[in-house]
Structure formats: C-alpha cells, structure tokens
C-alpha cells in the first residue's frame, strides 16, 4: 500500500507520540543522529497544532556501565559513555524547542526501546479511549520501530509521519518505510506532516 492516509480522518482524540527527541541524540555524543535538526521543524509544527494531544517519550540510560538485566548489562558496558554518570543527566532532556510545549504536552520516561514496557502507557491510552497514534521522532529503526510494532500488537491505528522521523542510517530508515507499506498496510499508514494535519480533526 502506498503512502497516504487511507482509513479516514484522524480522530480528534488521537495522540501524537513523539519518540526520544532528546539532547543526547542531537548533541556531540556517541549516539548523535545527524539529521535530527532537519526533522525538528516538522515535529515543532505538529506540536504547535496539537500540543495538548502530544506525549513525548524520553529514553533514560542506565546510571552506570554494567547496570541492567540480561543483555542490557552487556549493552551498557558497550555504551558506557552514554550512561548517566558519564553523559550527565541534563542530556536526557528534550530538545529546547520541544520543552516549550510541556505542559500541556506530557513526558513519559522509559528504560527500554519500547514505551510499552513498565510505563502504564497502554492502560492510560485505552482508558482515554484513544485508538489512533501519530508517531514522530528518533530513531526510525530503533525506538520508533519498537513503538510502532508494539502499538500494532495492541491494536492501535498507527500513522507514521514520514518527514518527522530521523535515523543514523538512511538505508534502514528507507527500508522500514517500505516495510510498513509492503507488510503492515492494514495497520500502519505513513504520510507527511501536511497530510496528517489536514486529516486530523
């Protein structure tokens, strides 16, 4: 299925889930995502229109190398420079341009790629009778991927804003957008910001 909004207008109570647009991915760290500055103005446009319907996630690294359970322990040994004691807690903050939207936008902290583990997010959305998520953020092939596939499993309609995603890998970014079209066309729509805003009541 091609890009575009295929299943009707986006309901007024949809939630914009903006994934991990944080300083640690924008600044000079081992996890810098080079084209985050390019998509930031698009995310800002969406937030300007839908701040009260926006939830920002923040990926919170382990405090020290070797923290974590199972393979996460090895992971934080490999990425010791990103642990809080080495990175500095201020680096987990949202980009300044997005902090301006909180409140009314909310912030959800998570310790994993997925925002669905140990956060209560699914319960909160379902309690609010939200059935549609508009997804932006970083990185397309890491935390955004975990967010999108978890939302699909939970039965949410997912609208991925294709010009409001960024990754360190152009190849993976492009491959995932193709995968959504080819394999998840009944559950995931991809569209650029202008079309999303036009469709969102």
Is residue 35 in some structural domain?
yes
Is residue 156 in some structural domain?
yes
Residue with the two structure tokens 């910001």: 193
Is residue 28 in some structural domain?
yes
Is residue 80 in some structural domain?
no
Q: pLDDT tens digits, residue range 83-131?
A: 999 999 999 999 999 999 999 999 999 999 999 999 999 999 999 999 9
18, 54 contact by CB (below 8 A): yes
What's the pLDDT score for residue 1? 66
Is residue 73 in some structural domain?
no
Is residue 49 in some structural domain?
yes
Is residue 10 in some structural domain?
no
Give the CATH number for residue 184.
3.40.50.850
Residue with the two structure tokens 């912030």: 107
CA distances from 28 to 31, 32, 167, 178 (A): 8, 6, 15, 30
User: Alpha-carbon torsion 138, 141, 142, 148, what sign?
Assistant: positive
Is residue 131 in some structural domain?
yes
Owning domain of residue 96: 15-62+92-199
Q: pLDDT tens digits, residue range 48-58?
A: 999 999 999 99
- Per the structure, how many domains does the chain have? 1
190, 162 contact by CB (below 8 A): yes
pTM of the predicted model, to two decimals?
0.95
Q: pLDDT tens digits, residue range 125-174?
A: 999 999 999 999 999 899 999 999 999 999 999 999 999 999 888 888 88
């Amino acid at each position: 299925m091609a890009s575009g909004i295929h299943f009707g207008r986006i309901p007024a109570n949809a939630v914009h889930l903006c994934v991990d647009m944080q300083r640690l991915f924008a600044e000079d760290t081992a996890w810098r995502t080079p084209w985050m500055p390019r998509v930031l103005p698009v995310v800002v446009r969406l937030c300007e229109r839908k701040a009260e319907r926006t939830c920002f996630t923040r990926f919170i690294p382990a405090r020290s190398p070797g923290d974590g359970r199972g393979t996460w322990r090895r992971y934080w040994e490999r990425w010791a420079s990103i642990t809080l004691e080495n990175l500095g807690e201020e680096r987990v903050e949202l980009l300044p341009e997005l902090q301006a939207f909180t409140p009314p936008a909310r912030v959800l902290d998570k310790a994993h790629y997925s925002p669905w583990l140990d956060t209560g997010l699914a319960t909160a959305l379902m309690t609010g009778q939200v059935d549609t998520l508009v997804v932006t953020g970083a990185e397309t092939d890491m935390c955004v991927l975990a967010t999108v596939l978890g939302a699909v499993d939970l039965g949410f309609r997912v609208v991925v804003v294709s010009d409001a995603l960024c990754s360190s890998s152009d190849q993976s970014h492009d491959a995932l957008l193709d995968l959504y079209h080819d394999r998840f066309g009944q559950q995931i729509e991809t569209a650029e910001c202008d079309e999303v805003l036009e469709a969102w009541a």
